[in-house]
Amino acid sequence: MLRLVRLVDQWDQIERELSDGWSDARLLLTLDDEAQADRAAGLLGPLNPGRRRNELRFYTARRDLGTRPDNLRRLLRGVDRERVAGRLELLASDEPVAAPAVQRATLAASWDALVAALPDDWSDLYCELELSSTDQLERAALLLAPVNPARYGGTVALRFRVARRGGYGASAGMTRRCLERLDEERIPGLVQILRALSDTRPVGTQGPVWRVGGRSV
């Protein structure tokens, strides 16, 4: 009989294969038994995992106290102690992870394609609109004002949040309308989803908080 590989050992192997300068990693845990999904999600609660059937998605970030690797390792040991078996995989590291960037004739069409690729139970998104020129930043920010865009780093881009049910972020419909406004003024760009969560149920807060590069977003 093959010995089951502990989840904490699977994470150790994944971490060894990451580049030296990695800052965050998006992970997928596929459980052998879907009946154990609720228990596993509870044990991994501090990572705010998104669940879909027997799959749990979450991330770890070196500069985030709550999700840093040593905390992830501690939580996975707890899952192992409960004899919850599964396969842990790396989805992405320091790259857009929820859905690939999509290039369509218009930004609104790109947005439609990205949303269509999301799981049915998505609830919160962290998005980016990359522009082709700094000359367009001020006008683009004005047209995107309802989604509360923000600059991040030195890129020619604006980032914003989208929430499906309420809390932090604009609605998907409002986001599409704002992108249509850019299309109407012929401002080109590339829209992508950087982070996504499914079926979040905040308690005592308006929604989840991501930490990117040590910053809350």
**Domain annotation for the chain: domains and CATH numbers:** 7-93 (3.30.70), 107-201 (3.30.70)
Cβ 194 vs Cβ 162: under 8 Å: no
Is the pLDDT higher at 206 or at 183? 183
Q: What is the pLDDT of residue 2?
A: 40
Phi, psi of 53 (to 5 degrees): 55, -115
Please report the pLDDT score of residue 182 as a whole number: 96
Least-confidence region, from 4-8, 85-89, 152-156, 163-167: 152-156
Share of the chain above pLDDT 90, in %: 32
15-40 confidence digits (pLDDT tens): 888 877 777 788 889 999 988 888 99
**pLDDT computed for residue 108 by the predictor:** 93
Do 75 and 44 contact (CB within 8 A), yes or no? yes
d(CA 118, CA 211): 21
Q: Does the pLDDT value for residue 205 go beyond 70?
A: no
- β strands within 94-168, DSSP E: 122-131, 157-163
Contacting residues for 55 by C-beta, under 8 A, at least 6 apart: 28, 29, 30, 31
